Structure 1
Amino acid sequence: MTLEQLHALFLAYPTICTDTRKITESCLFFALKGPNFNGNKFAKEALTKGAAYVIIDEEDHRVSEQCILVNDVLQTLQKLSTFHRNYSNAKVISITGSNGKTTTKELINMVLSKKYRTIATKGNLNNHIGVPLTLLSITNTTEIAIVEMGANHQKEIAFLSSIAQPDFGYITNFGKAHLEGFGGVEGVIKGKSELYDYLIANKKHVFLNADDPIQFQKLGSYTKRIGFSQSDHQFYNIKFIDANPFVALEVESIPIETQLIGKYNFTNCSAAILMGKYFNVPMEAIKVAIESYQPKNNRSQIINKKGFEIILDAYNANPTSMKAALENFAIMEAKNKTLILGDMFELGRDALKEHQSIADMTKNLSFNDVFFVGENFFAAKTSYEKFKSFHDLKEHLNQNRLKKGALLIKGSRGMALERVLDIL
């Protein structure tokens, strides 16, 4: 079966499934493989549950004419998504960066959906499987697709760009994330900049934070750059007002009060506003979109519970986002401030140094109580309470109740620190 024939089949059965536990009637089941699973083995089950066709790459599991044999299921999924992306008339905006990708993507979607029919990456499905699935969710009515791209090593963004072939792109920032895979901060900058490389090589438009020296330097005099800045009037001006705790900003003399905490969210909002202006979304609609957005999924959520004002930022963490969160928490107005910080993952040989840096920073910011949890923080030198595992932290908190007040909970996803909420 040719790619064109497979795409015609997809148009007839436009729902993609990769998990037999989520099979829907008349879907196309792509039998993906991984280190610990082989989707080919579930081809018969997928058909039994109602899949119209299954795409496999092992002859032994060809149980009926509804099984389409290809050389490599994953590559077929990726090629199909690129074919569909080019078949569609939708404009594609790609987003990457070390921090704030998902929040920025959601803000952009909120703003642009005020005028256009949009689709956007669901959750954080931003890898070599998630990007194709997002592209394949484009329908014949979609006008703009916002595609988030994640990476933990070099060449990955370049590969995802070749799949999505974006018309526009934006990099949120370059931070200390996935240092182990990227090979240090310079590797992060090089890896994330692969989106710039694709856009420039293909003469596409680039959105940028012109106040970020790395972005400004890398884009130089590129003529298709569209930027925002607080001070440089050759770019669109957006003014930061405050973040105590929620970000307030001003654009075209119009105040915007967000429901996002932390100054670090100013640039995320600014990028969405800039894109709204570029795509001619009315300013009043942009204001409504930004002000109505509420964070979720453990990303800087504000939760009031049993006398605690909790900032739950337990979706992920790296040294850059951790420091930004601590600086923001330090300037918040609150009588009692408690920190529960979990390990930051994928830092490689820099892990101990970066955890020690955070431990030192907490001391200098003079919080009331600080609790560290995880093997890396446990190895750091600090006078604050530290626990090697979440179980140890839980035992301590069950016997020693936290002082009520403001509480920041932050750590990498693998720490699952949202479990603290069940202890309070």
Structure 2
Amino acid sequence: MITTAELYFHFLKNPIVSTDTRNISPGCIFFALKGDHFNANEFAEQAINKGASFVVIDEENYVLNEKCLLVDDVLTALQDLARHHRKQLNIPVIGLTGSNGKTTSKELINAVLAERYKTFATFGNLNNHIGVPLSILSITPEVEVAVIEMGANHQKEIELLCTIAQPTHGIITNVGMAHLDGFGGFEGVKKGKAELYAYLKETNGYTFMNRDNPYLLEMSSKADLNKLIYYGTENGNTIKGNLKSSDPFIEVEWTNHEVSSAVKTNLTGSYNFENILAAICIGDFFDMNPEEINNGLANYEPKNNRSQLTKTENNTVICDFYNANPSSMSAALNNIAVLTADKKTAILGDMFELGPESATQHELIAKQAADSGLDQIILIGKFFYAYKDAFKGLFFETPAEAANYLQQNKIAHNLILLKGSRGMKLESLLQYL
């Protein structure tokens, strides 16, 4: 069996890691992970033939030659390698989690810090027990500060990811009605996310906190009160800000006790105001001046269908269909309700991973949509469809049925909110809008 130290020796000579034989780079190290329906040990030979320098496997019968590195468990080996690499990096690492806004906040923080520092940020949503190790192993020696996104759908997961990323600073964007099934309800969400606070307290790290959020304040008992840096809309915070405009793009005024400033962003959705304030607070903590902070925010362009404003031939669409939960869905409905437009339509898809709360939460969102005053409501998915006789709107069991309707009943000159869980694949409807 190869040790972590021996594996790290190979990694330093071949610092590219792959877990997918479809993405083999010459000279990489391939980790043969297992899943419920696959065993990548079976692809070790294929990885070598494609140019991998080494393959890490945990089944002896797949050892072919000296390029096969045998370990007890491939996933554990990957995580241990990342932990070892992290210990060699003498840099600030900002750990970030939350029910909503994780990826947008991560991108904004990175955009701000990159105005002065050589930064690394989690690519896409590589934020789980596999993604975080891959992110850590992607940090190169020239990086000065890293922003690591950490996702979770059950308790103790953030605790595990903290042992890998070993953050020196951290932020929980918010806590909401997400992954209720895995966390065991909203109280479980708060307990699970607070594992980041507990880790930072134990390791003498700094915590950034939105003082306007009562749930985060409640959870602050888990944090080191002497190393809390607050932001929010009231006096007494390190960063105080107010939402100047959000129709459709967000403008923010802010002050750090010494200098007042203002910035106009390319983000839509008033719910992103707190994500912007978080980036300002972290930039300020790392000694950046207002001009640098504002440049980072103003130049950031949202992508990946998160609060992304898209102009089609016929409509303006708020593309927010990367994911959804009751908290983010409610916020998105509140946002479109106050935006200026002649006609407004909401097209919403089912929300997943809500467990026993699913029926109640879909009913609440269906009611909010019906009462929102929008010109048209279209609800899609089996959970929403259960309320087709209870609330105003058009209901479809599948996106395909909704597509057929939209093909025959064109929507034009509307501001459209398109939002649902990733599994609903609502991007398939964009071509009809």
TM-score by length of structure 2 reads 0.96
1:268 corresponds to: 275
Q: Does 1:229 align with 2:232?
A: yes
1:255 corresponds to: 262
2:161 corresponds to: 160
Amino acid of the structure 2 residue aligned with 1:44: E
Report the Cα offset of residue 232 of structure 1. Answer: 3.1
Amino acid of the structure 1 residue aligned with 2:173: T
Q: Write the distance in 1 (CA, Å) between the matches of 2:431 and 2:189.
A: 36
Deviations 1:99-152 (A, max 9, x none): 000000011111111111111110001000000000001111111111000011
Trace 1:2-401 onto structure 2 (pairs within 5 A): 2-220=3-221, 222-252=225-255, 253-380=260-387, 381-401=390-410
Amino acid of the structure 1 residue aligned with 2:343: N
Name the CA shift for 1:60/1:203 in 2 (closer, same or farther; >3 Å): same
- Paired residues of 1:210 and 1:235 also in contact (CA < 8 A): no
Deviations 1:265-284 (A, max 9, x none): 01101111111001012210
Amino acid of the structure 2 residue aligned with 1:166: P
Report the Cα offset of residue 234 of structure 1. Answer: 4.3
Name the CA shift for 1:51/1:271 in 2 (closer, same or farther; >3 Å): same
Report the Cα offset of residue 403 of structure 1. Answer: 3.8
Amino acid of the structure 2 residue aligned with 1:111: V
Q: Write the distance in 1 (CA, Å) between the matches of 2:340 and 2:146.
A: 39
Report the Cα offset of residue 239 of structure 1. Answer: 2.2
Q: Write the distance in 2 (CA, Å) between the matches of 1:401 and 1:236.
A: 46
Q: Write the distance in 2 (CA, Å) between the matches of 1:383 and 1:230.
A: 36
- Paired residues of 2:314 and 2:412 also in contact (CA < 8 A): no
SS of the residue 1:302 aligns to: strand
Report the Cα offset of residue 257 of structure 1. Answer: 0.6
Moved more, 258-267 or 400-409: 400-409
SS of the residue 1:239 aligns to: strand
Instruction: Tell me the matched-pair count.
Output: 424
Where in structure 2 are there 5+ consecutive unaligned residues? Answer: none
- Paired residues of 2:347 and 2:379 also in contact (CA < 8 A): yes
Report the Cα offset of residue 211 of structure 1. Answer: 1.2
Report the Cα offset of residue 300 of structure 1. Answer: 1.0
Deviations 1:332-381 (A, max 9, x none): 00000011110011111111111111111112211101111000000022
SS of the residue 1:223 aligns to: helix
SS of the residue 2:93 aligns to: strand
SS of the residue 2:47 aligns to: helix
Moved more, 72-81 or 225-234: 225-234
Amino acid of the structure 2 residue aligned with 1:421: L
CA RMSD of aligned residues (A): 1.1
1:418 corresponds to: 427
Q: Write the distance in 2 (CA, Å) between the matches of 1:234 and 1:70.
A: 50
Q: Write the distance in 1 (CA, Å) between the matches of 2:406 and 2:77.
A: 50
SS of the residue 2:225 aligns to: coil
Report the Cα offset of residue 213 of structure 1. Answer: 1.5
Q: Write the distance in 2 (CA, Å) between the matches of 1:290 and 1:76.
A: 38
Amino acid of the structure 2 residue aligned with 1:224: K
- Paired residues of 1:247 and 1:262 also in contact (CA < 8 A): yes
Q: Write the distance in 2 (CA, Å) between the matches of 1:371 and 1:319.
A: 16
SS of the residue 1:296 aligns to: coil
SS of the residue 1:329 aligns to: helix
Moved over 6 A (4+): none
Moved more, 212-221 or 8-17: 212-221
SS of the residue 2:401 aligns to: helix
Report the Cα offset of residue 203 of structure 1. Answer: 1.7
TM-score by length of structure 1 reads 0.98
Report the Cα offset of residue 240 of structure 1. Answer: 2.0
